[in-house]
Amino acid sequence: METDRPWPRSRFSPAQRASVLDAGMALWAARGQLCQSIEDGTARDCVVGAVGDEVNPWLQSESRGWRHLLSVRPTATAAQLRLSLPHNRDMVLRGLEMVSVFDYERLDDESRQLIIDEPVGDYLFGLTETQMKVVDHEVVLLDGPTVGDDYSVMVVRSPRVLELAMRYWNAVMSSAVACGQERAADPQLSDRQHRIVGLMQAGLTDEAMARSLEVSVRTVRSDIAQILEALQVRSRFSAGFRLGRSGVVPRT
């Protein structure tokens, strides 16, 4: 396992980079045409879903009816992830099947760490070019036109754009690896204890952790005591801080 940060550029081949770039630019070009059609009033297969500060509430509302989600997000700040990851967690726990790919090379260390530590959901790192979501294998969400001074999200129901989106998705997936492959093992902790650390950092109660792990609350509390002792810290917060900043990343 390679542990250099950021990943060496040699991890991805020139062919992989070219494939993602070509597919991403083709989708971006189609996105530009759709934005123009909205501005011209000639749009047939797309509408603006939400604008500016209304985008996140709109996504949260819309996602309640989603069954499948393929998401590509080139970058995100730690502040953005602290808002979006808990929402994603709730969606997955409600039954959403989700795969989300972030561009490892464009994230800072804190953002990578938040994604790696997330205990619920299927997150991968890879090469990306354009942000998009494919919902239920039939709807594509893309960055929409600027409305006033605000950004927007565009809902696209076009077979051609869906085809381009899936071509781009397949190119991205050819470079993607599970974020768990970047998690360094800590020989002092068992697999279950690594999972408990991730659940603690996600803010779960002892009871919720016990349900997730299918063990008793007493077992969870015993494992937590052993974690604190192994790390020579006195609080759960200190355990999470030490693991998060020492380069040892908890497995989930």
Closest residue by Cα to residue 152 from 33, 53, 63, 42: 53
Q: Output the pLDDT for position 238.
A: 55
Range of the domain at 214: 191-245
Q: Output the pLDDT for position 95.
A: 86
Contacts of 249 (CB under 8 A, 6+ apart): 113, 116, 117, 182, 183, 184, 243
The answer to the question of residue 1 being in a domain is no
Q: Output the pLDDT for position 191.
A: 84
The answer to the question of residue 4 being in a domain is no
The answer to the question of residue 58 being in a domain is yes
The answer to the question of residue 227 being in a domain is yes
Q: Output the pLDDT for position 233.
A: 55
pLDDT < 70 stretches in the chain: 1-11, 180-188, 231-235, 237-252
Contacts of 72 (CB under 8 A, 6+ apart): 100, 101, 128, 130, 131, 132, 133, 168, 169, 172
Total domains, the chain: 2
Kindly state whether residues 168 and 196 are assigned to the same domain.
Answer: no
Q: Output the pLDDT for position 248.
A: 42
Kindly state whether residues 122 and 214 are assigned to the same domain.
Answer: no
The answer to the question of residue 251 being in a domain is no
Q: Output the pLDDT for position 76.
A: 92
The answer to the question of residue 92 being in a domain is yes
CA distance 87 to 245: 25
The answer to the question of residue 241 being in a domain is yes
Q: Residue 147: which CATH number?
A: 3.30.870.10
Structure-block tokens of residue 146:
């600027």
pTM of the model: 0.68
Q: Token pair 């919902």 is at which residue?
A: 135
What torsion, rounded to 10 degrees, do the Cα atoms 112, 118, 119, 120 define? -120
Q: Residue 196: which CATH number?
A: 1.10.10.10
Contact 11, 103 (CB under 8 A): no
pLDDT tens digits, 199-209: 887 778 899 99
Kindly state whether residues 90 and 157 are assigned to the same domain.
Answer: yes
CA distance 52 to 46: 18
The answer to the question of residue 2 being in a domain is no
